């Protein structure tokens, strides 16, 4: 099972129980449905209910991105993994302020652990930033409200981003985080990577009995799967940030892989393809798990985090967030 990405405009259809993509130029590509886990659509793609019925049968998710490469939504088949008891307990942990804060602070502290992990690899250049972040980190478990926690996380992330220029080896410069729109190539990479991280987390949450809209750090709201935003706090600094630094420092992606459009900087099509090719390699990278005693991919680490949350909700085992040891 794997993810597939479509950048061209065209039509995706069902033909003899197989997925076919037909470009505007008439080129066809077959995608055996039993080998597809997620389909990511970056181009303007037409489809119909006949295709959706096939995707539903084989439990394939469709992720949609707009012209700028930003995630806009997901079609996912009817939920097959259902546990009313787990959802009730998940909701109860949101409604209890102490239980909610425990989970929210765990996500933030794990993320900060991974930020510091990244900076310690360049400690001779980032020592002052590490000290500032560690001082702020001490307040994470000393506050009571989610807004206070978000404030701590925001200050830490601002310091963290300021340190990036100390470790970048190319002519990429980082002035400040700008999301909508990204003002420079590094912000474009971060926005694109975070968008892919969000859909990757969502796909793994969907494979469990967790409810994707009941979250703890980010306020639950309509029209978004906010639990994916919570879990992404752990994995953005663990996966996305060092991955982007590697792309830039190893010159896999350069200035020629960007375009300026309506006042924003975006990856062009070749840049997106290069990014995703390396992204899939990164998610497939394996690490020897200390508890399971076997190799686990970065993608599977996300699902394991979901399973740990389920155990926490039903009272089997207190949740301890992932903190990379390798």
Does residue 270 have a known ligand-binding role?
A: no
2-75, which class in CATH?
Answer: alpha beta
Does residue 233 have a known ligand-binding role?
A: yes
Tokens of 124: 């001779």
Evaluate if residue 251 carries a pLDDT over 90. Answer: yes
Q: What is the pLDDT of residues 19-48, one digit of tens each?
A: 999 988 888 888 888 899 999 999 899 999
CB atoms < 10 A from the CB of 19, how many? 23
Cα(106)–Cα(119) distance, integer angstroms: 20
**Domain covering 84-313, topology:** 1.20.120
| Whole-number pLDDT of residue 69 | 83
* pTM, to two decimals: 0.90
What are the sequence ranges of the domains in the chain?
Answer: 2-75, 84-313
Lowest mean pLDDT among 46-60, 65-79, 251-265, 291-305: 65-79
Does residue 153 have a known ligand-binding role?
A: yes
pLDDT band at 183 (very low <50, low <70, confident <90, very high): confident
**Helices and strands, number each (H, E), in the chain:** 10, 12
- 284-289 long-range contacts, Cβ below 8 Å, gap at least 24? 287/326, 288/326
What length is written for the chain? Answer: 326
Three-class secondary structure of residue 8 per DSSP = coil
Same-fold call for 2-75 versus 84-313: no
Tokens of 222: 């309509």
The closest alpha carbon to 260, from 182, 190, 192, 191, belongs to: 182
The closest alpha carbon to 37, from 160, 159, 186, 204, belongs to: 204
Question: What does pLDDT average to over the chain?
Answer: 92
């Amino acid at each position: 099972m794997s993810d597939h990405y479509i950048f061209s405009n065209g039509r995706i259809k069902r033909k003899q129980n197989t997925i076919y993509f037909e470009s505007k130029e008439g080129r066809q590509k077959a995608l055996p449905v039993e080998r597809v886990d997620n389909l990511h659509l970056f181009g303007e793609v037409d489809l119909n209910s006949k295709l959706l019925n096939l995707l539903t049968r084989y439990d394939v998710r469709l992720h949609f991105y707009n012209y700028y490469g930003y995630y806009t939504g997901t079609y996912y088949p009817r939920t097959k993994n259902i546990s009313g008891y787990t959802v009730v307990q998940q909701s109860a942990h949101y409604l209890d302020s102490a239980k909610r804060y425990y989970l929210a602070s765990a996500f933030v502290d794990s993320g900060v652990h991974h930020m510091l992990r990244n900076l310690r690899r360049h400690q001779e250049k980032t020592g002052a930033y590490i000290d500032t972040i560690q001082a702020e980190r001490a307040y994470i478990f000393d506050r009571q409200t989610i807004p206070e926690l978000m404030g701590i996380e925001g200050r830490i992330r601002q310091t963290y981003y300021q340190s990036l220029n100390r470790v970048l080896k190319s002519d990429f410069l980082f002035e400040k985080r700008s999301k909508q729109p990204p003002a420079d190539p590094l912000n474009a990479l971060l926005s694109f990577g975070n968008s892919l991280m969000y859909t990757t987390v969502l796909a793994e949450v969907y494979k469990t009995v967790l409810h994707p809209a009941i979250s703890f750090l980010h306020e639950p709201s309509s029209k978004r799967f906010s639990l994916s935003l919570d879990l992404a706090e752990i994995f953005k600094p663990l996966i996305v940030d060092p991955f982007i630094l590697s792309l830039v420092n190893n010159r896999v992606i350069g200035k020629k892989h960007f375009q300026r459009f309506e006042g924003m900087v975006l990856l062009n099509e070749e840049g997106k393809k290069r990014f995703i090719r390396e992204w899939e390699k990164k998610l497939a990278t394996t690490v020897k798990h200390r508890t399971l005693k076997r190799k686990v991919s970065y993608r599977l680490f996300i699902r394991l985090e979901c399973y740990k949350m389920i155990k926490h909700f039903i009272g089997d085992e207190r949740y301890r967030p992932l903190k990379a040891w390798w």
